[in-house]
Structures are given as structure tokens and as C-alpha cells.
Amino acid sequence: MKPTVALVGRPNVGKSTLFNRLTRSRDALVADQPGLTRDRHYGHGRVGGKPYLVIDTGGFEPVVDEGILFEMAKQTLQAVDEADAVVFLVDGRTGITPQDKIIANRLRQLDRPVHLVVNKAEGVNQSIATAEFHELALGEPWAISSAHGDGVRELMDRVLEPFPEEEEEAQARHPKFAVIGRPNVGKSTLVNAILGEERVIAFDHPGTTRDSIYIDFERAGRNYTIIDTAGVRRRTKIDEAIEKFSVVKTMKAIEDANVAVLVLDAQQDISEHDATIAGFALEAGRALVVAVNKWDHLDGEKKETIKRDIARKLSFLDFAKFHHISALEGRGIADLFKSIDEAYQAAMSKLSTPKLTRVLEVAIERQAPPRVGPVRPKMRYAHQGGMNPPIIVVHGNALEHIPDSYIRYLEHTFRKVFKLQGTPLRVQFKTGENPFDKDDAKHKPKLSALAKYKTKLAEKQARNKRMKDVKK
């Protein structure tokens, strides 16, 4: 088992910067603004032969008892409970604060090692940078600069010293799915319902989640990764720099996932912005499942109105399954998860070339591609060109003349035969080269080595002759 290291400290002491350095990534949002990280954020690191798991936490406010800061403190305490070692970060520029003392008192009660780390100590003698922090009574302070990397490797050698070396286990491929949607539609509540615990902060305020939180878990003996993403607002309403970064992280999470779970709020009108977010997943080629949340509090007439609205505004998601759920009460979660599994299997399907070609031939017999002037496109065979989404490459002649309506016909045929429910499907065409096209450089006669030599010799003689003429 990899040791788990939790990064703890008051807001804006550099925990996320250290997290990014330890994981060699930019997974945690970093800015000169306190309270940016809110949920527990996990990442993998390695020092020599010792792999480890590191947890970034929100700024620890141990004295609050309500609001978003209280929820952040709960997340931090859960991370500490999970950890094998704790790194307590303090700010070397600011010095000891009353809040540092309160956190230190809490950490001294733990039955696991706590390492006191003085951050932002670049350019300062270590003994001077750490002098006043001995007062916290957590052992010898260690000075580092998470921004510049000074002392970080030595710190991790010290933290991981009690743990034995082991080979990092090869990670098997497993499904990743991202929960996406507008702010405050219940994405984090759904994540918690799937995990069966309060893993991420679910707070009745838009924009609570700012980062994309990757969470590994196991269900029915199978490994998964779920990604809780920030709510995506309309571009005109994004005015904070942090929120712009959050949207970028959400787009990255969609591309990193195999399946996107689009969460809609049944108590709000289905908007064009919901369609835009679905379009992000579709452009990325991701399998899609739609969860219509907060369904249980609607009357019959309102439910029918929402169904018609969805059918009209999200008609382009005809390949996806729709589920009516209540994330808060855990209703419909099992069926939703079943569709996530099915969508993943469809997205990662392996399609045999002989069967693809037979399906193509049957489709052509039923409906041949339309003639364009004197030319009728001729499709010869098909093979798989990729997964997630499945890509089917059709070879033939004059295929650039095939209209979009016929491409949709082929997509529908392939999806029906191979039962590719839940994933978009892309059909691409590859036209054979015309050997009689004299303008094609590929078919120009190739010169032999002797012919090339003679050509260069003739060019050199002509050049020398011109030089003589110039001298005369």
C-alpha cells in the first residue's frame, strides 16, 4: 500500500503549490487568493523507489462552526484521518499566527507523524526561517520553498523514511466519468450519493466547487474514477479569473474522462446553456448519460413539460440514456450507474473489420449513396479507426461526395447493429488515390540514382558556364 500524505495549514500558505510540485502536475488551482481550494484533492507522487498518495486540502479554519469554511474544515479533518503522515505548512514570511497555534494544538493529539514545514523560505537561512516556529512544539521545523522547489526533495525523503520501498503497481484501465452541468444543479450531491459518503462539499450556493476533483473508488469489485467538476456558467457571466480557470479545468476533465454525466435541474427550465455544455462533451467525443435531478418534487404536469422541453432542446443526444433521479435522497442512482457502465463499454468497444464490412454492404444494399452528377460514391470496406468515441473508417472512391444525411444513416445503422448505446459514433471516409492523376506528386516517375547524378552534373556545368560568361 502506498503511504498517504496530507497537506494541512491555514489558507494561502502554499499547500496547492506544494501539491503540484509533488505530483509534477498543475492539477490544483493556484492563485494569490485565500480559500481557493475547498475539497480534498488527491494526486500521485514518487521519491526514488517510494510511491505515495498526497492529499491537498482547503485552508483549515478549526474555530468556525457553520458555512463554507466549516465544510472545508470537515474535509481537512477527513483527509487527516485518512493520512499516514501529515505535513503542516506555515508561512515563513508571515510568521506564527494565532490560527497556526490552534491547528498545532489539534495536530499534536494525532497518533501519526506530523511534519512542521515552513514554506516561502527562499533566500533565507534555514535556522533563521524556522527559529520562531519551534514554539509550536511539533518537532524540528523544515524550511522549503514550494514555488521554487528548495528543500522539497529532502522534505519528502524525511516524510517517507519510515515507509518501505515498493514497486508501484501497474494501474489497470478503468472507467473515468465526469459529472458536468450548470452551477447548483446537484453535481456534488450526486457524487456523494454515488460514493456513499460526504466526499465533496455540497453547499446550497452556486460555484461551491471550483476545481475538478478526481476520486478513485471501488464499486461491486470494480475500480472507477469519478470527477466532480465546477459548474459552467454562460461566458458573459464569468467575471472572476478563478472561475475562468475552473471552466478550463472542467473542459480538461471532460476530455480526460470516458463518460460524461450531464446533470440537469428539473426544477429549472432546461436552457440553451445545458445544450451548450452537452455540446462540449459531444465535441470531445465522450459517451454521455443524462441525469435529470430533483425530479421527485415535481407534479405530473410539470414532469411532462420538462420531458417535452428536453426532447426539443436536447434532441441531438438521441444516443444517450436519460434518468430521472433525486441525488439528495439517493433515488435512481443504481440505474444511472448501470447506464454509465453501458456507455463506457460502448465507447471502448472493439469492432471487427469483417463484421463492419458486412454491415456496410447490407446498408448499401438497403440504400445506396446518392449519385452526384455522373459520379456515384463507391464504398468498398470499413474498419475501426479508434475508440472513445468509436471511429469507423470507410474506404472507397469519390467518397467526398457523400452527403451528411447518408453519414447519419450509416451512423444509425452501425450503432443499432453493434448496440453502441450511450456513445457518439464517428464515420470517416478515405478515398483511394487516382493513379491517373498526373498532378499528384506521389505518382511522378522516380529518378534513379544515376539519373539524379547526371541531372546534378548538368546543373553544375551550366552554373560554371554562367560564371565564366560573367567574368568575360
CA-closest candidate to residue 42, choices 103, 91, 83 = 83
Is 187 known to sit in a ligand binding site?
yes
Q: What's the rounded Cα separation, in Å, for the pair 199 and 2?
A: 20
Backbone region of residue 284 per phi and psi (left: phi > 0; alpha: psi in -120 to 50; beta: other values)? alpha
346 touches 357 (CB < 8 A) = no
DSSP state of 201: -
| 303, burial (CB in 10 Å: exposed 0-12, middle 13-18, buried 19+) | middle
- The annotation status of 378 as a binding-site residue, yes or no, is no
**Contact call for residues 231 and 207 (beta carbons, < 8 A):** yes
Q: Is 9 annotated as a binding residue?
A: yes
Of 118, 152, 164, which is closest to residue 138 (Cα–Cα)?
A: 118
| 356, 396 Cβ separation under 8 angstroms | no
Q: Is 60 annotated as a binding residue?
A: yes
**228 assigned to a ligand binding site:** yes
57 is in an annotated binding site: yes
- Asked whether residue 58 is marked as a ligand-binding residue, the answer is yes
- Alpha carbons within 13 A on the beta-carbon side of 406: 22
385 in a known ligand binding site? no
On whether 411 is known to bind a ligand per the annotation, the reply is no
Largest CA distance in the chain: 102
Is residue 24 packed enough to be buried (19+ CB in 10 Å), middle (13-18) or exposed (0-12)? Answer: exposed
Confirm whether residue 232 is marked as ligand binding.
Answer: yes
Is 373 annotated as a binding-site member? no
The annotation status of 181 as a binding-site residue, yes or no, is: yes
Is residue 304 part of an annotated ligand binding site? no
Spatial separation of the C-alpha atoms in residues 80 and 6, rounded to whole Å:
6
442 is in an annotated binding site: no
Residue 188 annotated as part of some ligand binding site: yes
The answer to whether 389 is annotated as binding is no
Instruction: Say if residue 80 carries a ligand binding annotation.
Output: no
Tell whether 10 is in a known binding site: yes
Residue 261 marked in a binding site: no
Cα 288 to Cα 226: distance, rounded to the nearest angstrom: 14
C-alpha 15/C-alpha 351 separation (Å) is 46
Q: Is 3 annotated as a binding residue?
A: no
Say whether 183 counts as a known binding-site residue.
yes
Whether 427 contacts 409, CB under 8 Å: no
Residue 14 assigned as binding residue: yes
Q: Is 95 annotated as a binding residue?
A: no
Among 248, 73, 47, 72, which Cα is nearest to 155's?
A: 47
Angle at 80 between CA 74 and CA 82, to 5 degrees: 105
Q: Is 295 annotated as a binding residue?
A: yes
Report d(CA 313, CA 305) in Å as an integer.
12
The number of helices, as runs of H, and strands, as runs of E, in the chain is 13, 15
Is 326 annotated to bind a ligand? Reply is: no
State yes or no: 119 annotated in a binding site. yes
Residues annotated in a binding site: 9-16, 56-60, 119-122, 181-188, 228-232, 293-296
Binding residues for GTP: 9-16, 56-60, 119-122, 181-188, 228-232, 293-296
